[in-house]
Structure 1
Amino acid sequence: MSVKSSLFNFTVTDRFLKYVTIDTQSDPGSVTIPSSEKQKDLGRLLVTELQTIGITDAHLDEFGYLYATIPSNVGKSVPVICFCSHMDTAPDCSGTGVKPLIHKNYQGDDIILPDDPSQIIRMAEHPDLKNQFGNDIVTASGTTLLGADNKAGVAEIMDACYQLVNHPEIKHGTIKILFTPDEEIGRGVDHVDINKLGAYACYTMDGESAGNMENETFSADGAKLIIKGVSSHPGFAKGKMESAIKIAGQIIAALPFELSPEGTDRMQGFVHPVGVEGHVETASIDFIIRDFDDAKLVEQADVIRKVAGAVLKSFPSSSYELQVKPQYRNMKSVLDKHPQIVEYGMEAIKRAGLDAKLCSIRGGTDGSRLSFMGLPTPNIFAGEHAFHGKHEWVSVQDMQKAVETILHLCMVWEERS
């Protein structure tokens, strides 16, 4: 069977417009699971919608993970596949009071966001808008992020579930659905029950441009540089005080620009300070370290040590300690062992009428860690752009193509089993 847009009454846009109004920001400072209880608000709504569709086992567990199953509708054995998106939005920009707007029939003009007219989405700054002429662009109103990362993916999977249940002529094996909390703060699969999924392969719907599929992510470490200075009464500090705060500032300023996020692109990694805390006696800098090559993570941590050591030469009574912890690894090493998982995804994108492009992502997805947990998981486009900021946007037509891609992917696995 060939899936065509004309065959379906897409629900993805209505679902997306509803989901983005629910505040689901994760909280990196929280120790609870999930990090913010409000993420469960969306999870409970999704469970109700899935059960209404007819997916009776849909449920939300104590950790805020949603699981659901669409049973096979064929007699032969087909590997179980899973589709996954995350429900949380990034803590970098407000997700409270999101007001989604649809800008119909985009023709290349600047998109001025009405609640803050200084927020303008320009084609020159968002090159993928060149592919959106005639499409309907969804944005927020100017004071919040939109939440397309990753509620576009959630809405696409939900619409695909609706279509699969209502179109039994689409032949497929058992399909598992997984929606996760806390992906944006690196905890998205901490409590996933892999055995409950029982899947052979998984696909996250969390990518950017229509037609793109990603089989390679950054490898990632987190690092904390702890600086121990010398405190003294400021009235009597001459020749005694060595302020840990000032030392931290000098270390940050001395980091090489060519190893910063703003100074790198494509396959280049970076060292990025993301947080500073401190007092005169003790200060700390939190870093994220990223590269596609695991070995270079070690080299980049050494850069931090060298910079810190050089700065501290001027502060002989002070010292530092660097703590490095692994976060996730490049999923390509796992996916290369299961080439058909990526091959079938590329075929599904082509069948949806798109130019399929295999890409690397300068970031990570839940799939990075799922792959190393025994569930190989490449990433398929969701159509989301300008993540984590007020200029975030997605097009209605790209979301519909993502739904078609999911349906085609289900059929490809059935056909080739």
Structure 2
Amino acid sequence: MFNSKILKLPNYRRLYLAGLSSELGSFITDSALMLFLFHITNDDKSFMGINRAVFLLFLTLGSLLGGALGERYDRKKLLLFCEFARIPIVACLFFVSNAWSLVFLNGLIALFTGIFKPARQTLVNDIVPSDQIREANSLFGTTFAIIHMLGPLIGAGLYASLNGITEVVIFDLLTYFLGIYLLVRMSYKAPEKTTPIKQSMGGDIIEGLHFVWKRAELRCVLVNTILLGAGIGILIPLLLPFIKEILNKGDFHYGIFMAAFGLGGVIGGAITGKLSKSFSSGKLILICVGLEALIFPLWMRISNFELNCLVIFFWGIVVFVRITSQLNYMSETVETGFLTRIHSLLDLCFIVPNVGAGILIGIIGNRLSTFEILHWASLIFLITIVLRMFLPETRKLWTSEIKQVYRDPNSFDKN
């Protein structure tokens, strides 16, 4: 599936394994915690929206901080700080059973996850030679898909069999300790900054926004991400109610459902490298966005569980081709001095509308049926994406030619 050379780079291998372990633990815990919350709130889907909104609000704040902090401080030390910070917060889950307290703790975990993610992705670009960056991004994308597949399946399975989250939390804590061990063993030399930092973190964020505004094709990627974030923000809190109310299945079937999506993601991440030989990253992004707009209204109208899983499997392929292509596009076209901020903005463009959608579900979740909410959300999403396909910035992304940016080779990993 991948050239073994990429994992022979020792620093990249440690960073990859650290991300793999901690994110797997987080996905397992998040799935079990969501089921736990759904049960202790008497299957209140409005509370699912509130939980999602709080989680993403903290994640948004973390992403804002992470983009600016990643430009100012040693990125390896920043990742270690986030790993250490999450350990006592996760440990508090042993002692809390109140729904609002669980939501708050989940939000605090999201805060440090938000700081962690843009710094880690920029660190990948720091240490991986430019001619191997597509392979590195594909491996991260495929691994994230595997986590998407295994995490909910294991989390739902453990919760259904144990009817609690204690064992899940223990596993999550162990993954953070493993991540710390691997990060400490990295020998990382930060690349030289091309310009000295003279402005505030707020100024850094504004400068990043100006950079995006000047590039129409990059602006197209971010605006489409906002729309995708809104659609997914409505979909995620309603997945469990959808499985129970429309598909008439239980908790463990939620894990199977998410595993089907993750399995599709594994294939999507794996085939992106081959697809990128025939299509530019910009074309792949737009093709996938168009397919997602068509899949959403189709998927929510299928009431057969097995057929629904087949559609969500294909959706997983499309999503992870898009995610990996976006990583490739940023790696190839964004200068090092802006890269962490652009990754942070990309996260924000997905997260902020997620927050708004979660709040919306919290308001209307018990006033409209699950089917009605998904019906209108999918139609609005489809119409908006179709209209955007005719805009000049979309044509710019479709026809753009990649101009490889310069990376400081002194920070590259070596066998």
Structures share fold, TM-score greater than 0.5: no
| Greater gyration radius | 1
Structure number with greater CO (CA < 8 Å, separation at least 6) is 2
**Into which bin does the TM-score normalised by the smaller protein fall?**
under 0.3
TM-score (norm 1): 0.27
TM-score (norm 2): 0.27
Higher-strand-fraction structure: 1
Higher-helix-fraction structure: 2
